Amino acid sequence: MDDLFLSKINLLYVEDEESIRNILAKRLSKKVNTLYIAENGEDGYNKFLENSPDMILTDVTMPKLNGIEMTKKIREYNRDIPIIILSANDESNYLLSAIENEVSGYIMKPLDKDKLYDVLEKNAKAICLEKINLAQQEQIKKQQILLQNIINSERNMTFLTDFYSLKFANNSFLDFFGIQKTSEFKNDVITIFEKHEKFLDRDIVKDEFCAMKFFNEIEKLDETKRVVLIKDRNSNIKSFYISLSKLDNNLFLVSLTDITKMTLEKIDTEQKAYYDGLTGIYNRNKFQEVFEYEVKRVHRYKYPLSIAILDIDHFKNFNDQHGHLIGDEVLILIAKKIQEKIRETDTFARWGGEEFILLFFECTKEDAKNKADFLRKEIEKTYHETAGRITVSIGISQYQENDSMDDLFKKADDALYRAKENGRNRVEI
């Protein structure tokens, strides 16, 4: 392939294995303008500071500083420099860390040299394009022609718009939406971004939509938050990292990088880390994380915070008499019922076994008791066709200054014990 852009950039290559380093360095030196070579992460970091390369290619597993640690340090100085990770198959656990540090590429070993050169050329192209001063172009038409010639081979979707009409789009954009030319795209461009609470859409502008406001709001965001959802011509929803540049005449150059696979892997990892596998609600890890966050807010804003521990009465009998599958069905049923009845601001999690826990935001223990009693009555109405009537006992406690999670839980657990001792199917503070 042609190295039109790669030949213009200065590359830092970091690899600790001498034999691999020598082979690849020999090839790379013929591709780039200047090649800097480092033997480990610490050496790589120092050479980055000394030489200010345009791009970095690095191994992951290295002495002193590994590739991820080096990337973190470099990101403290430069958030934009493309960093491409080389990783062995057994190092896939580094992928999420790489994503969090905004790497530009993640290539598995053994290396496919064509794929490597393609990724390097792609990033070199982006670097060179950033250096082009579009403001010096005399007419938007000339800008469009220039962009068309340069980026039609780009895998990224790239287009020029005022977020209403489409002024220019590369082939990747046209193929994605199943059209032959720009004039066939009839919708307002801003409408391509699907609405979702965890992703960007037009609602980031609180008042009446304005393209400049949209641009400014995105510029304020951390780069990890600049992700949009778009539906392709087959109605499949894909996720993209969005990058915008402001041009003349209220036009914006938009580049969309497909990160669907990485997004799904991140969601899957988060699902396993923070959600209970049986009931689908938060697990103990997530609850403790939310608790620590809310305690900081309590210290700052001085609002009340309470928790409730819910324990299913006679749950052991369900398992002993009907088997664990029925017990699991009861847990799922109760989790669903509670999830439907609590406020969006409350945090609900499975603590373990037949115990659930609730964090009541801005609630005294008396308020929490009233809410818990409402839930108890709703659960009492619940009937499982095999297990029969289901009830819960609930213990309440309110956060006091300097309480730890264990302190607060112990007070709620003691109250739960009293609820059991006093006949079950009740709430105690």
Confidence at 397, pLDDT banded by 50, 70, 90: very high
Q: Mean pLDDT over residues 93-120, rounded?
A: 81
Give the Cα separation of 40 and 204 in Å (integer). 42
Q: Which of 24, 17, 74 minimizes the C-alpha distance to 44?
A: 74
CA distance 80 to 83: 9
Cα–Cα distance, 308 to 311 (Å, whole number): 10
What's the one-letter identity of residue 10? N
The per-residue pLDDT for 2 is 63
- Provide the pairing of β-strand 392-398 with 427-428: parallel
Q: Is the pLDDT of residue 134 over 50?
A: no
Q: Which residues contact 226 (CB under 8 A, 6 or more apart)?
A: 200, 218, 241, 242, 243
Tell the residue number behind the tokens 């369900």, with chain if given.
318
Helix or strand holding residue 229 (H, E): strand 227-231
- pLDDT interval class at 42 (50, 70, 90): very high
Q: Would the pLDDT of 143 be above 60?
A: no
Of all residues in the chain, what percent carry a pLDDT higher than 70? 90
**What CA–CA distance (Å, rounded) separates 240 from 177?**
14
Cα 217-223-227 angle, rounded to 5 deg = 75
Residue 206 has pLDDT above 90, yes or no: no
Output the pLDDT for position 194. Answer: 87
Q: Where does the pLDDT of residue 211 fall: very low under 50, low under 70, confident under 90, or very high at 90 and above?
A: confident
pLDDT grade, residue 383 (50/70/90)? Answer: confident
The angle subtended at Cα 31 by Cα 25 and Cα 35, nearest 5°, is 50
Q: What is the reported pLDDT for 427?
A: 95
* Cα–Cα distance measured from residue 19 to residue 23, given in angstroms and rounded to the nearest whole number: 6
- Asked if residue 214 has pLDDT above 60, the reply is yes
195 or 306: which carries more pLDDT confidence?
306
Q: Is pLDDT larger for residue 264 or for residue 299?
A: 299
Please state, rounded to an integer, the average pLDDT across all residues of the chain: 86
| CA proximity to 177, closest of 192, 161, 165, 194 | 192
Residue 43: what residue type? D
CA–CA distance, 340 with 363 (Å, rounded to integer): 19
Q: Is the pLDDT of residue 142 over 90?
A: no
Residue 89 to residue 82: CA distance in whole angstroms: 22
Instruction: Give pLDDT tens digits for 301-348.
Output: 889 999 999 999 999 888 888 888 998 999 999 999 999 999 888 999
143-157, 208-222, 248-262, 322-336: which has the minimum mean pLDDT?
143-157
User: Mean pLDDT, to the nearest integer, of 220-249?
Assistant: 85
| Residue 155: both structure tokens together | 């895998």
Which range among 169-173, 197-201, 384-388 shows the weakest confidence by mean pLDDT?
A: 197-201
| DSSP-assigned letters across all residues of 337-359 | HHHHHS-TTSEEEEEETTEEEEE
Measured distance CA(157)–CA(240) in Å, rounded? 9
Q: How confident is the model at residue 3 (pLDDT cuts 50, 70, 90)?
A: low
Structure tokens at 324: 């664990």
- Identify the pLDDT of residue 217: 86
Measure the CA–CA gap between 57 and 32, rounded to whole angstroms: 12
Cα(78)–Cα(97) distance, rounded to whole angstroms?
Answer: 17
Which position has the higher pLDDT, 11 or 169? 11
Q: Which residue has the tokens 């289901």?
A: 390
What was the pLDDT predicted at 97? 76
For residue 259, the 8-state DSSP code is -
Cα separation of 122 and 3, whole Å?
Answer: 10
Q: Reduced to 3 states, what is the DSSP secondary structure of residue 34? A: strand
Task: Tell me the three state secondary structure of residue 324.
Answer: helix
Decide if 295 contacts 409 (C-beta within 8 A): no
pLDDT at 331: 94
Q: Which pLDDT tens digit goes with each residue over 147-193?
A: 555 555 567 888 889 999 998 888 889 999 999 988 899 889 999 99
Alpha-carbon 345 to chain mean position:
21
Q: What element of type H or E holds 60?
A: none
